[in-house]
Amino acid sequence: MNRRIYISGEKIGRCIFIKEVESKRRRGMFICECGNEFEAQFNHIVSGQSCGCRKKQSIHHLVAYGFRGNLKTGLAVLSQRTKGYNTWNAMKSRCYNSNNPRYQDYGGRGIEICDRWRYSFENFINDMGIKPIGHSIDRIDVNGSYEPSNCKWATGKEQNSNKRYKK
């Protein structure tokens, strides 16, 4: 369990720590990035949770976009969609940012992203579908580019076996 001593005013995750309110269960008083003051367990704050405003905002977005299904499911999909967005950003960085530590294995080797995906996250997620939990983007031909016909979501295990076949 997290037993670190925090100092009042210290930034933890998205929040500022104010004071401990319960030592046994490690609860504290925090100020959220939105300005809200609230009580929570340290572990939750360390793992990046907010006062709940982010969740409320996500629900607000779902409703605003006309989402009619189960909100819990909707939030899970939204979160996976966000992970898909992170994948998309990381992919662009590997291919086009020469400061990326992995650039030499991607952009540096001529691996590119098709224009359809490079300039539109919407196109990317529409073609690939929501990223399944525990999966990452895999190129079927490891020397080929990032484009709909050459990509699939795969688990780490599937990716490794793919690499073995290629060798």
Binding range to Zn ion, per CB under 5 A, among 30-38, 67-75, 111-119, 156-164: 30-38
Evaluate whether 139 touches 151 at the Cβ level (below 8 Å): yes
Residues 52-81 that bind Zn ion (CB under 5 A): 53
Round to whole Å and give the CA distance between 62 and 16: 28
Residue in this structure with the two tokens 């060798």, named with its chain if needed? 167
Please report whether residue 32 would count as binding Zn ion according to CB under 5 A: yes
Evaluate whether 49 touches 57 at the Cβ level (below 8 Å): no
Binding range to Zn ion, per CB under 5 A, among 3-11, 20-28, 47-55, 72-80: 47-55
- Minimum distance, C-beta of residue 120 to Zn ion, in the bound complex (Å): 31
The nearer residue to Zn ion, 40 or 51, going by C-beta atoms, is 51
Binding range to Zn ion, per CB under 5 A, among 4-12, 26-34, 67-75, 129-137: 26-34
Taking CB under 5 A as the criterion, the residue among 28, 42, 50, 146 binding Zn ion is 50
3-state secondary structure 54-120: HHHHHHHHHHHCCCCCCHHHHHHHHHHHHHHHHHHHHHHHHHHCCCCCCHHHCHHHCCCECHHHHCC
The nearer residue to Zn ion, 38 or 121, going by C-beta atoms, is 38
Please report whether residue 49 would count as binding Zn ion according to CB under 5 A: no
Evaluate whether 89 touches 83 at the Cβ level (below 8 Å): no
The nearer residue to Zn ion, 35 or 66, going by C-beta atoms, is 35
Please report whether residue 34 would count as binding Zn ion according to CB under 5 A: yes
Query: Which of 48, 50, 26, 49 minimizes the C-alpha distance to 36?
Result: 50
Element counts in the chain: helices (H) and strands (E): 6, 6
Please report whether residue 31 would count as binding Zn ion according to CB under 5 A: no
Which residues in this chain contact Zn ion in the complex, by CB under 5 A? 32, 34, 36, 50-51, 53
